[in-house]
Amino acid sequence: MLFFTGDTHFGDPRVLRIDRRPFSNMAEHDAELIGNWNRVVGKDDEVWHLGDFMSAKTGDCAELLASLNGLKHLIVGNNDPETTTGSQGWTSVQHYAELRAHDHHLILCHYAFRTWNQMGKGSIDLHGHSHGRLKPVPRQFDVGVDAQGLRPVSLAEVLSSRKSGKVPPADAVP
C-alpha cells in the first residue's frame, strides 16, 4: 500500500509551541508519531514523506528510519539537514516527484503550488509545509501530520477527507 505524510519534525520542540501539538514533551511526541506510523504502515508498504522529517539535534536519522515501517522516500523540506537527506534508510531522496497511483497523476513537493504540472488534466498536488493552515484548493492536499491526524495516510483517505470534511483519527487504520 502507498502512504503519504510530512512535517513530522521528530525531535524539534518548536512544533509543540508553534503547531500546538498535544504533547508535554518531545519524547512523548516522537513516541506517539512513531506508534501512529507503525500502526498504519506495514513493513512492505511505501511511504512518501514530504519534508521536514527530523531535527538535526535529534540523533541518528538512520536509527529513527529503521524504527519506522515501510520503504521510505523523502521529498526534501526546508528543515531537512544533510544529516537527514544523506542518511541511510531512505529508498530515495529528491526535492520533487511525479508518480501515478490509482489512476491519478500525483505531484509531490514539500511546498504547496499555486499551479502544477497537468493541473488542467486532473493531476493532484500533495504537499506539506503549511501544517494544515492553507485554505483548501481543488485537487491540492496537505498530507502533513498536522492536517492528517498525526499519521501517514493513503491516497484514498486524503481524497475522501475533503469530501467528508473530516481528518482521519490517529488510531484509524485503512
The domains of the chain are located at 2-164
Contact 3, 47 (CB under 8 A): yes
* Res 56: pLDDT: 86
Q: Which residues, at least 6 apart from 101, have a Cβ–Cβ distance to it below 8 Å?
A: 2, 155
Q: Which CATH class is domain 2-164?
A: alpha beta
For the chain, percent of residues with pLDDT exceeding 90: 87
Q: What local confidence, expressed as pLDDT, does residue 166 receive?
A: 52
Predicted TM-score of the model (pTM):
0.93
Decide: 3 and 46 in contact? Cβ < 8 Å.
yes
Give the per-residue pLDDT at 59: 86
Assess contact for 77 and 50: CB atoms under 8 A.
yes
| Band of residue 163 on the pLDDT scale cut at 50, 70, 90 | low
- Average pLDDT of the segment spanning 122-134: 96
Question: Mean pLDDT of all residues in the chain?
Answer: 93
C-alpha cell at 104: 491519478
Residue 162 has pLDDT above 50, yes or no: yes
